[in-house]
Each structure stands twice: as C-alpha cells, then as structure tokens.
C-alpha cells in the first residue's frame, strides 16, 4: 500500500482514498473488538490491488527478483505441497530449478527468443 502513496498518487487516488477511509473507520469505530474479527476482511481487496500493482511494476521487469521470488517462495510451496501430499520427488524439484534458471537467462543472453522463453517459463510456474 505504501507503494501506491509513493508512486503515481493521482493515478491511484481512488484506491488510496478508499483504503484510508476504511482504515480510519477501522481504528476509530471498532476499538473494543478482540482482534477486530471480520472487520479486517475489507482490507484484503486493497492489499490485492497494491500487490498486483507491485508485481506489474517491479516483478515482471526484474528477472533477478523473479528468480529469487520463485526460489524462495517456490521451494517452500514445493515442500508443503508435493512432499506432504504426493511424496518428495527429486525429478519435479530438478525441473523446477531448471525452470528458475531459465528465467535468469535474459540477464546474460539478451536475445528475443531467450527473453520470450524466460517469460513463458516465469508465467507457467504457478503452484495454485
């Protein structure tokens, strides 16, 4: 959400205003609720919007950030999903590491087919 304040304030004015309005209501109108219960749920759309703007702005343009994000988040998701449900598979893990390495290739080889392949690999990787 801080990114919306710092970058293109006028462009994101509607999201920022709605977030701040609900945040003020959240702080002033609901002070006695333990953990604020379900009242925190309306914050989630604003967090999703700001996360999407962050991903569009920084994640897609920076291949090194893409690689490290996939390694750190992907390996933890791999351990939590494949290892517990299907059993640990080294073949799948190695294919994932090869895919992550291909996403780094545009840092070293700046040719259109390599960039296209890295984009496809980055977009294909999805644990959902």
Is pLDDT of 20 > 80? yes
My answer on whether 52 and 67 are in the same domain is: no
My answer on whether 71 and 116 are in the same domain is: yes
Mean pLDDT of the chain: 74
My answer on whether 41 and 79 are in the same domain is: no
My answer on whether 52 and 68 are in the same domain is: no
Tell which residue, 87, 62, 33, 111, has the closest CA to residue 70: 62
Residue-wise DSSP of 61-116: T-HHHHHHHHHHHHHHHHIIIIIIII---HHHHHHHHHHHHHHHGGGT---HHHHH
Gap between the Cα atoms of 75 and 80, Å rounded: 9
Q: Structure pTM?
A: 0.43
Per-residue confidence at 2, pLDDT binned at 50, 70, 90?
Answer: low
What digits encode the pLDDT tens for the residues 65-98? Answer: 777 777 777 766 766 676 666 666 667 777 777 8
My answer on whether 18 and 44 are in the same domain is: yes
My answer on whether 47 and 72 are in the same domain is: no
My answer on whether 120 and 67 are in the same domain is: yes
pLDDT (mean) for 107-116: 85
My answer on whether 68 and 50 are in the same domain is: no
For the chain, the domain total comes to: 2
Domain that holds residue 52: 2-56
């Amino acid at each position: 959400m801080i990114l919306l304040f710092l970058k293109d304030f006028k462009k994101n004015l509607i999201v920022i205003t709605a977030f701040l309005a609900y945040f003020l209501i959240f702080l002033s109108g609901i002070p006695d609720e333990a953990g604020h219960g379900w009242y925190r749920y309306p914050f989630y759309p604003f967090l999703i919007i700001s996360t999407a703007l962050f991903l569009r702005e920084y994640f897609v343009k920076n291949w090194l950030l893409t690689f490290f994000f996939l390694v750190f988040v992907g390996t933890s998701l791999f351990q939590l999903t494949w290892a517990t449900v299907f059993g640990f598979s080294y073949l799948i893990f190695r294919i994932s590491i090869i895919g992550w390495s291909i996403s780094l290739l545009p840092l070293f080889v700046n040719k259109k087919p390599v960039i296209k392949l890295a984009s496809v690999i980055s977009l294909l990787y999805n644990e959902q």
